[in-house]
Amino acid sequence: MVNLPDGGDNGSVGLPSRDGRLSGRVAIVTGSTRGIGAGICRRFAAEGANVVVSGRSEAAGEAVAREIHNAPTAGDAAFIECDMREPEAIESLVERTISEYGGVDVLVNNAGVQTETGVEDATLDDWSFVLETNFRAYWLAAKHAIGYMPAGGSIVNISSNHAFVTMPEHFPYNAVKAGIDGMTRAMALELGPLDIRANTVNPGWIEVERTREELEDGRYEAVEELHPLGRIGQPGDVAGVATFLASDDAAFVTGESLLVDGGRSVVMDDDAFRSYKRTL
């Protein structure tokens, strides 16, 4: 276990203890050094969970863990470095969590990458990069965690609204996101008799670093207008749903894929496809 440095901003978590729905539980959140994953870690800790922050960046991961550790939340956090493309590292992530906390109650598979490639121009390297990180790693993390999960355990797979509707030049990202939903159903079917649930959260546009980079030159406001709720989502919007699915409030919910996209998917048409056709 990586030791947590001293210091940090006690007020930066910004989430007081809520209902304690995850009190005493241990949660692994992959890809949680920033963005949606970091938001889930903060909310889980606010709900009483001890959280394992994981990712490739030791500096960023320890910063998230330190922030939670030094905040007045009910739960604690620590960082374990893990490259989700390395099967041995995934197994070690679970084993080190067990060594530190004695068990694992919740697994949130969140780590993900994408390429700006289409079906025709995607390469085998693109394929391997996305599938190993976004798909194989989800299976391996669950495979290693299941044996330690008690009855009432929960797996939350973070997918995307691309599993339902998509845009050009997002392959194989969009294919994998649909595959995650199928994987979730397979997990729900086989793990249900063990009283372990598996569900998917499918976020739409969420304001993270990558989104801000994509939506330059006034596009941010234009995309906001495409949402019935009139805004792009925040990591906390996803974290709240993940908390529900990880908690006993969702004790009879398994095998589901829940869109968290501000109503974006109910909008039938915009200019994205027409713009793409004009480039052909």
CATH code, domain carrying 108: 3.40.50.720
Looking at residue 212, what is its pLDDT?
A: 76
* Residue 245 within a domain: yes
Q: What would the pLDDT profile of 165-193 be if each residue is shown by its tens digit?
A: 998 999 999 999 999 999 999 999 999 99
CB of 69 within 8 A of CB of 5?
no
Which residues make Cβ contacts (< 8 Å) with residue 138, sequence separation at least 6? 109, 157, 180, 183
Please indicate whether residue 173 is annotated as part of the active site. yes
Determine whether 155 is exposed, middle or buried from the number of CB atoms within 10 Å of its CB (0-12, 13-18, 19+).
buried
* Residue 132 within a domain: yes
In the DSSP assignment, the letter for residue 29 is: E
Question: What is the count of structural domains for the chain?
Answer: 1
Looking at residue 117, what is its pLDDT?
A: 95
* Residue 6 within a domain: no
Looking at residue 248, what is its pLDDT?
A: 96
* Residue 203 within a domain: yes
Residue from 101, 138, 173, 220 carrying the catalytic annotation: 173
Looking at residue 14, what is its pLDDT?
A: 41
Looking at residue 72, what is its pLDDT?
A: 85
Which residue ranges in the chain fall short of pLDDT 70?
1-18, 269-280
Encoded tokens for 49: 């969970």
Kindly report whether the global pTM for this prediction surpasses the value 0.75. Answer: yes
Domain with 110 in it:
26-278
* Residue 211 within a domain: yes
Residue ranges of alpha helices (H) inside the chain are 35-46, 58-69, 87-101, 124-131, 137-146, 173-191, 209-214, 219-225, 235-246, 272-278
